[in-house]
Amino acid sequence: MELPLFPLHLVLFPGRPLPLHVFELRYRQMLADCLRADRRFGVVAIKAGSDVGRPADVFRVGTIAEIEHVERFDDGRARIATRGVQRFRIDAIVPGRPYLCGRVRPLEEAPAVAADTERAQLLRRVLLPYLAELGAPDELLRRIPSRPTELAWLAAAALQVEVPEQQRLLELDSCGQRLEATLEALRREAGLMRHFGTVGSLRPPGPAGADLN
């Protein structure tokens, strides 16, 4: 299928929210096209380049985002609330569009197996103090899921690591692989925090969301 694509300096994981600020003309057009169709587009992380001007070099695996809410302004800008739905892989870039568009195929997630429940319990025990150290409120910590698939996606999104490492977690093909890889990264990052202190903080996106320039 063909899917409009937003290149961003971030990785969107299935199940996670993503607020966006749309103001450039090509993205206004894309938003209008999405709202006339199925309210979905693809978010792809930028490998090199920028989302301004010439097309950026993007990773080939991204996440379908569904538009949940749109707030329009008189000058044509819009703020939209979206949520990641499903991973996809770009097979080809479709030329001739004012914005990036790809011919993509959705990627099915291998179902969780019995061993993943134990992995998820271990990951959760490491994740909770990690998030608390980053300043996550108790209310958020009480809502951390236990189900392996949901926990794996949330933990991958919560990791304070660079885009290429988050992209690696997105591209893993099974819940078990993602739980194992995220746990390894989480232990490493927690160790660094113990030695060097907290260098970042867990904060929700600002009211404007991510800028699409």
Please give the pLDDT value at position 192: 76
Determine the distance from the C-alpha atom of residue 91 to the mean position of all C-alpha atoms in its chain, rounded to a whole number.
20
Strands (E) in 94-120, as ranges, are 101-106
Predicted confidence at residue 193, as pLDDT, reads 73
β-pair type (17-22, 78-93): antiparallel
- What pLDDT is stored for residue 210 in this prediction? 43
Return the pLDDT at 201.
45
Domains in the chain, ordered, with CATH? Answer: 2-108 (2.30.130.40), 114-196 (1.20.58.1480)
| Other Cβ atoms within 10 Å of 9 Cβ, number | 11
Contacts of 139 (CB under 8 A, 6+ apart): none
| CB 81, CB 69: distance < 8 Å | yes
The DSSP 8-state label assigned to residue 197 in this structure reads -
CB 21 within 8 A of CB 209: yes
Query: Which residues lie closer than 8 Å to 67 by C-beta, 6 or more apart?
Result: 31, 34, 35, 39, 40, 41, 80, 81, 82
What pLDDT is recorded for position 50? 58
Residues whose CB falls within 8 Å of the CB of residue 185, separated by 6 or more in sequence, listed in order: 159, 161, 165, 169
Q: What is the dihedral of CA 42, 205, 212, 84, to 10 degrees?
A: 10
Q: pLDDT by residue (tens digit) across 14-52?
A: 999 999 999 999 999 999 999 999 999 999 999 976 555
pTM to 2 decimal places: 0.87
The pLDDT value recorded for residue 213 is 31
Which pLDDT score, from 0 to 100, does residue 209 have? 42
pLDDT confidence of residue 124: 96
- Residues of the chain short of pLDDT 70, as ranges, are 49-55, 194-213
Run of H or E residues at 7: strand 2-8
β-strand partners of 87: 63
Cα(82)–Cα(66) distance, integer angstroms: 5
The radius of gyration computed from the CA coordinates of the chain, to the nearest angstrom, equals 18
- 3 state SS of 19: strand
